[in-house]
Amino acid sequence: MVEVTVTPQSSLADRPVQVQVRGLSPSQLVTLRASLTDEQGECFQARAFFRADGAGEVDPGRHAALGGSYAGVWPMGLFWFLQPDTLFRRLVKRDVAGSPFLVRLEVFDGLCLVTGPQDQPLASCEAERWYVGPGVQRVPIREGRVRGALFLPP
């Protein structure tokens, strides 16, 4: 049974995570895709093609991506290379304290350049990427024409 995991499953957005796929056939070609929908409803995606090792595992931190959104060994490549489906959109988090970005990771058999609703992943999971840690207080700043926010640790 194929399984994809993200460790830790919930983390701050600037912290590295480890993505691992297990249960593949040795040397199996797979596509690993990360996707998220921002607060405006815009979809962002990144994908990378991998060949499983002899144990049937893929680890972007140890194995080189053969192509896709990037190539080579990039442990956080699926997160760093997220691109919008609509040109000229930017990934911006407005509600930094209230909710995380939910990044969905999926594994597809073979090389998938485009995936449609009919394409079923072999495995999937979600990672939470928070922008503010637990207990951090947000204080709005309004002084003359200056606007901002002060984030105070607990």
The domain limits of the chain are: 3-152
pLDDT at 127: 98
pTM for the whole structure = 0.88
Per run of 10 residues, the mean pLDDT along the chain (length 154 residues) is 96 96 97 96 97 97 96 97 94 89 96 81 97 92 94 92
pLDDT at 137: 92
pLDDT at 91: 92
d(CA 46, CA 84): 9
d(CA 47, CA 45): 7
Amino acid at 12: L
pLDDT at 118: 74
- CATH tag, 3-152: 2.60.40.2240
pLDDT at 98: 86
Contact 127, 111 (CB under 8 A): no
